[in-house]
Chain A
Amino acid sequence: MMWAFRGLRNGVLTTRWPARPDGYAASTRGPATVLAPASQPSPPPSQNGQASLAGLCPAGAISQDGQGAVALDQGRCIQCGRCVAARPDLFGWQEGPGSAALSRTGLVVPPVAETPERLAGVRADLRARTRALRRSVHLRHVDAGSDGTEEWEMLALLNPVYDIHRLGMFFTASPRHADVLLVTGAGARGMIEPLRTTYDGMPHPKVVIAVGTDAVGGGLPGSSYAAAGGIGGIVPVDVWLPGSPPSPFSILYAVLLGLGRLPAQAEGGGTR
């Protein structure tokens, strides 16, 4: 009886996002991004004692072409903030939960030339597949070598603040009941076979989401005798979500993106 009353103590704690804006969601730190795309005046690497821009990133996310144009692959960004601290004129944080993309190349900033038609095609295909799921979706998680934080952020979706049951989403124990597969970790070789088996055990239609930078691009564990450098080569990925770890809001965003259920105002441009 004690507990029943305690449950009423603090009123409704649940966010209304994505239907309504949420202050914490908007302030969530995403991956680093390039502030001044295209024609920024970046000095050639060796001058004025400055290290090369690519050398700023311990995860190899930053590259610079012969003309000095900088590109940042958010799928490799581990959110260490070195680039933002060293060159605040060039790099900044992407804020808000909208860091997921429907294609791996969609995570590169500034955007590489990708035809809008192709992206629209991916989107339409995904929407056709997930239409049958309607508003009841079952999620299955597989840990393929995470550092443990991605699991915490996923579990947070069940706490009263996020409460994904309000959106008709449930975590399920059996792959046979699952519609969405959330995979974390860099693809530890020991988990390749269990991951494939889980994927195969799911009924069609199914959506696969790579959750976290390790799952998207390998992150710091990278590709080695023990890790596959991401899960893209193991199962077909539909939604790529970087972050080390991604916040609960960004995980929710990725799931909604995969299901084509993002309201227009939460989608943030819809360029990816």
Chain B
Amino acid sequence: MAAGTDTILGSVPALWDEVTRRVAAGCRFADLFGTAHAGGLLLTAHLVGPAGLETWQALLPPGAASYPALTPRLGAAFWYEREIRDMFGVVPEGHPRPQPLILATAGDPPRPGSGSPPGAAERAPEVLPSHVAGPGLFTIPHGPVRSGVVESIEYLVETPGEDIPHLNMRVFYKHRGLEKRFEGMTSSDGVLLAERTEGIATVAHALAYCHALERMAGAEVPWAASLVRVIHAELERLACHLDVIVRLADGAGLAVATARFGWHKEQVLRLVSQLCGSRFGRGVVIPGGVQGLPRVAPAELLTILTGLDRKLGADLRVLMGTASFLDRLRRTGPLPPPRAHEHGALGPIGRGSGGTDDGRAARPYDAYGSLSVRVASRPAGDALARLEVRVEEIAQSFHLLRQATDELAGELAGGADGELGGAAGGPVRVPCDPAEGRAVGWAEAPQGEVLYDVSISGGRIARCRARSASFHNLVLMHEVFAGDILTDFPFIEASFGLSLAGVAR
């Protein structure tokens, strides 16, 4: 695996040349971010190719106020360069819309990696330009306080009345300054913040963060711990996919289906809390392993899973046969496969548009390499395809859960003692506390690939880049309204299934 192989190139244009060359050769653009550095602003790009993850870097000299933008050459960098502008105040020259994305401030930029805290920021509201013009066109501002219990974002829907020719998004409302907050934390505290970066994908974020540290320290996670990690990651996938289904059923006005799937989701969260005390699997994953074994014996867990699978499966079969529901999703919010591929769309959005990339299968971690992971994929690219991918992944998750629980039962029977929350250095964790270094970790969240690029200096976090799948994917909302009308909006938003906490951070 090519993880950690990184090259510092001579100049920013040379970095863009390399990135575009690698993308043309079939790599997926995965991340681009800045780090305040003694020698200026360090730009880091992550690409994912068949051989694994590769990292390319270049230094922008201190004092440089701008650099030639990558976005005109590689559209997927659109939001990433706006984020760099927000965080460091440098302007990407030639960027089609160099406006605030995750932070709209007038004061000093926070400059992650610099180690010094910026002052409190005042919001400087900017009026976004209209992107379409014509008689009778107007903008519907929707948010940041929207109807229902949802996270804060502002959608500006430009419409002549029914169609949605253009959509703008302002995500900076709930920026929490987390990447700056990581700085100076110990590596064991950092995982707590990683869990809260995108709360509904707590386990996936903790895993990606811990994988980075474990790679840095060369720590080998005990087999039992890697199985426990899989169990929690798959339960999280069930809960998130069920949440999407609840929202879709609610949008379609299927009251009974909404209630049924809401109940199933509650059962999953209760099972998680039975296993570890937290309904979101918090505190389970720690650098070097897991906090403890599940508090439910494997045999009992298998029984619970079988019951859950049976009840949920029966409801899913009825849902996927409810014509009035499927009609609302078919050809709604289409993302053409070539466009999804070009952007490197992640998770169910990418796989609903013909993608086949799933970190659990392509770049396996923890116990996934020894379990059989089948990747779900659909070519249609509409909201229905994204739902079908999720429904298939739910079945797959039960399959993985059963495999992992069986393995864990065997492991516990054959030696490793079943002491709950085994002592430090016991069977479920190894020491992992690197003092210096930098490494990248990843995990496949229910929303798609999560990437963490962690630098440790003197035992403390110097820079922690947390790139969620939600950040990478949300920008695609701009382009999926071809021919769709206002009433399709809730379906399209629900079918994306993203968390804004992970976008604005």
Contacts and interface: CB of A to CB of B under 8 A. Distances in A.
A51 interface: no
A188 B504 CA distance: 10
Interface in A126-156: 141-156
B192 A80 contact: yes
Interface string A151-193: 1111110111100000000010111000000000110111111
B241 to A, nearest CB: 13
Contacts of A222: 181
Contact of A7 (B118, B260, B269): B260
Interface stretch (B127-135, B146-154, B456-464): B146-154
Contacts of B499: 148
Contact of A186 (B117, B176, B202, B502): B176
B8 to A, nearest CB: 29
A33 interface: no
A29 interface: yes
Contact of B266 (A143, A156, A221, A227): A156
B214 to A, nearest CB: 20
A244 interface: yes
Given A3-B254, A147-B199, A188 B175 contact: yes
A221 B501 contact: no
A190 B173 contact: yes
Interface in A172-220: 173-175, 185-186, 188-195, 197-198, 219-220
A6 to B, nearest CB: 6
B438 to A, nearest CB: 23
B257 interface: yes
B176 A58 contact: no
A7 B121 CA distance: 50
A221 B257 contact: no
Contacts of A85: 291, 421
Interface residues of B, number: 71
Nearest to A248: B266
Contacts of A175: 145
A29 B273 CA distance: 9
Contacts of B421: 85
A189 B282 contact: no
A148 B504 CA distance: 12
A189 B121 contact: yes
Contacts of B278: 29, 79
B198 interface: yes
A74 interface: no
Interface of B: 103-105, 107, 110, 117-123, 144-145, 147-152, 172-178, 180-181, 185, 189, 192-193, 196-200, 202, 243, 254, 256-257, 259-260, 262-263, 265-266, 269-270, 273, 277-280, 282-283, 291, 311, 314-315, 318, 321-322, 421, 499-502, 504
28 contacts: A2-B321, A6-B318, A13-B263, A28-B273, A58-B185, A58-B189, A58-B192, A78-B192, A79-B278, A81-B283, A146-B174, A148-B200, A149-B280, A152-B200, A156-B266, A159-B262, A160-B263, A190-B174, A191-B174, A192-B123, A197-B145, A219-B196, A224-B176, A225-B110, A226-B121, A227-B177, A244-B196, A247-B279
